[in-house]
Amino acid sequence: MSTTILEAKHIYKQFYDPVKIDVLKDINFQVQSGEFVSVIGKSGCGKSTLLYILSTMDTDYQGELYIDGKKMTGLKEKELAAVRNEKIGFVFQFHYLLNEFSVMENIILPARKLARKPIEEVKERSLFLLKTLDITKLADKNPRQLSGGEKQRVAIARAMINEPRILMGDEPTGNLDKKNSEIVFHTFQQLAQEFQQSLLIVTHDPEFAERTNRIIEMEDGRIIRQ
């Protein structure tokens, strides 16, 4: 059973610094549920820009964006924040964990914001995620005490806590060494296979992309292969 999770229709974007540059030109594509998609392209081809539009954080574009069948274009900042909270999980190049909170608290923060489930259930899910990602022993540690690979896995757990419709990643292995990259990749693969999690990962690592279900290749703001 495959439904469309994310759909981009004729997305254009320009930068005006210092002269007008078309960063994205007529982007059209869909992501089905359970797909593990990677977006590749050279530096500056607009792949990250596209990802931030798809993630609803950047609203300055033309065209239409649908997530889970709902139109995102034109929604208010607060409504978009709610969509991000509920339907999108995010993993960045940098981990962005809050040092003021423990690992466990970091992971459940988005779920507490959503406030749909009682706190015990949320904690159970976070323990389950930690176990799945093989980092159960880190639960009560402070993010400062973690290695780069561990931090990134905690960030993945945080992205997964609300059972998002789609998990997006912006170069999630960009800052990691070979070994840790491998671990993170396996984590993504595991999520895709075990939980049929839809994934949309931007990367410039061709080896990483090769092993995903589908590759979207971009050049100069256009999709040249998908």
Partner 1 sequence: MSSKLIIQIAYSLLMARWKQTLVAAIGVTFSITMFITLLSFMTGLNKLLDGLILNRTAHVRLYNEVRPDSIQPVEIAPEFKSNYHMIRSVKSGNSRQEIYNSEAIMDRIVQDERVLGIAPKITSQVFFNEGSLDITGVVYGIDVEAETRLFFFTDYMVKGTASDLKNVANSIVLGKGLADKLLADVGEMVQVTTAQGEQFRLKVVGHFQSGLQELDKTQSFASITTVQKLLGKSANYVTDIQIKLTDVSLAPKLAREFGTIFSIDAEDIQTANSQFETGTTIRTIISYAVGITLLVVAGFGIYNILNMMIYEKMDSIAILKATGFSGTDVNRIFILIALGIGFFGGITGLLMGYLLSSLIDQIPFNTAALPTVTTYPINYNPIYYLIGGAFSLFTTWFAGYFPARKASKIDPVVIIRGK
By the rule CB under 8 A, 42 interacts with partner 1: no
By the rule CB under 8 A, 15 interacts with partner 1: no
**Residue from 37, 40, 54, 110 binding partner 1 (CB under 8 A):** 110
User: Which residues make Cβ contacts (< 8 Å) with residue 106, sequence separation at least 6?
Assistant: 97, 98, 143, 154, 158
| CA dihedral sign, ordered 126, 132, 137, 143 | negative
Q: How far is the CB of 102 from partner 1 (least distance, A)?
A: 10
End-to-end CA gap in the chain: 21
| Helix runs in 23-92, H state only | 47-54, 77-87
Element (H, E) at 63: strand 62-67
Residues, the chain: 226
**Residue from 44, 115, 131, 193 binding partner 1 (CB under 8 A):** 115
- Per-residue contact string for residues 89-108; x = within reach of partner 1 by CB under 8 A: -x-xxx-xxxxxx-------
Coil vs helix vs strand at 92 = coil
By the rule CB under 8 A, 144 interacts with partner 1: no
For partner 1 (CB under 8 A), the number of binding residues is 31
Q: How far is the CB of 211 from partner 1 (least distance, A)?
A: 26
Q: By CB under 8 A, name the binding residues for partner 1.
A: 48, 52, 55, 57-58, 77-78, 81-86, 90, 92-94, 96-101, 109-110, 112-115, 158, 170
